[in-house]
Amino acid sequence: MNGSTIDNMSTTPHGPGLDCHIANDAERAAAFGNVYECWGDERPIDEYVAWRMQSVQHARATWYVGTVDGVVATSLGAYPIVLRAAEKSWPGYAIGAVHTPPEFRRRGYAATLLDWGLQQQLAGGAQFGLLYSDIKPEYYGGMGYRLCDSHYAWAVPRPGDHASSGRLEQFDPAEMADGLAELYVAAQSSRSIWIERDSVYWDWVRGRYVGHNWFWWIDAGADHPSGYIQLKSTETESRVFDWGVLPGADERAFWETVLQWAATQGVARIGGWLPSSDAIAGCFDVTPRIKELTMLSPLTAEAPWNDAYSTDAAWFTECDHI
């Protein structure tokens, strides 16, 4: 979410005539065309809109729009999520692609649509909200969202710098779906809050990240995986999108193995969204994220909150970023 796209952080009461509703196909295409200015790529806008209309990622969301005289004046996506906290599952939603075209900014339209979407989600049973903010967190803080720890961690792998403990073995996440899901749950179980992934969610993950590489970490002397990692590799870097290490396993040994593997592959740099754990801080250069800031909001009186959530949300991975 880009700060320039949501009314320049205005909280001015909305003007007359804003109609908030779930987008139809034409309005969804119009919204995708609007966001091209912020999240477009090298494709022509028509191809970009067609891609988003067919995207596995964006198909998971419910798209809300606010229109003025039939024109899409603001839009956002609401993605269903389930958070695990206080030994219970809490349904919620993640907000993405909040956008207002320039000609409609400074009228409070985005804030109005965000509130309207919240009411829809509450009516559907949502208990938590999640977003990744590209603007000053105070904007969403005024709506009840709480800033969580968010870091980047990058390293330049060099042969011989890290003592590998064990090995990485590539696998197909579709063929190993059950084992991957079980290891994910085990790796997350020590956190005070984490994102649950059912079979439908895992199907969505695999559909989103075709072309990413998945590896088991087999620790030295072990005959079964003690961890896993998902990497997006380009000519210039390998980006960590998801990872997990079993409780009791040596996290430092996991990252040493990953870095040694990266060095043998000639990877120029490796990293991404990673928490500032002792093991990671010992292997990577860790810095605060300045964008894509994780923010959480308990939406109801029943939804729990613990300050530990702000710390443990740093373990959310880019795999879940909407």
Q: Has residue 80 got a pLDDT over 60?
A: yes
Per-residue confidence (pLDDT) for residue 176, from 0 to 100 = 98
Average of per-residue pLDDT across 227-248: 96
CA distance 68 to 76: 16
CA distance 55 to 235: 24
Average of per-residue pLDDT across 185-212: 97
Q: Has residue 14 got a pLDDT over 70?
A: no
Q: How many degrees, rounded to 5, is the angle at CA 204 between CA 255 and CA 298?
A: 80
Per-residue confidence (pLDDT) for residue 2, from 0 to 100 = 39
pLDDT digits (tens, 9 = 90+) for 212-235: 999 999 998 888 999 999 999 998
Beta strand ranges found along 200-308 (DSSP E): 213-218, 227-233, 238-245, 270-273, 285-288, 293-298
Mean of the per-residue pLDDT values for the chain? 93
Q: How confident is the model at residue 98 (pLDDT cuts 50, 70, 90)?
A: very high
**Single pTM value for the model:** 0.92
Residue 94 in contact with residue 81, Cβ under 8 Å? yes
238-245 sheet: strands from edge to edge: 167-171, 213-218, 227-233, 238-245, 270-273, 151-155, 285-288
Per-residue confidence (pLDDT) for residue 236, from 0 to 100 = 86
CA distance 295 to 4: 19
Q: Percent of the chain beyond pLDDT 70?
A: 95
Q: Has residue 6 got a pLDDT over 70?
A: no
Average of per-residue pLDDT across 198-218: 97
pLDDT digits (tens, 9 = 90+) for 251-287: 999 999 999 999 999 999 999 999 999 999 999 999 9
Average of per-residue pLDDT across 95-117: 96
Average of per-residue pLDDT across 114-122: 98
Q: How confident is the model at residue 159 (pLDDT cuts 50, 70, 90)?
A: confident
Per-residue confidence (pLDDT) for residue 41, from 0 to 100 = 86
- DSSP letter string over 31-67? HHHHHHHHH--SS-HHHHHHHHHH-HHHHTSEEEEEE
Q: Has residue 5 got a pLDDT over 80?
A: no
Average of per-residue pLDDT across 44-58: 95
Q: Has residue 42 got a pLDDT over 90?
A: no
In the chain, the domains with their CATH numbers are 3-149+290-320 (3.40.630.30), 152-288 (3.40.630.30)
- DSSP letter string over 63-103? EEEEEETTEEEEEEEEEEEEEEETTEEEEEEEEEEEE--GG
Q: Has residue 12 got a pLDDT over 90?
A: no
Q: How confident is the model at residue 163 (pLDDT cuts 50, 70, 90)?
A: confident
Q: Percent of the chain beyond pLDDT 90?
A: 88
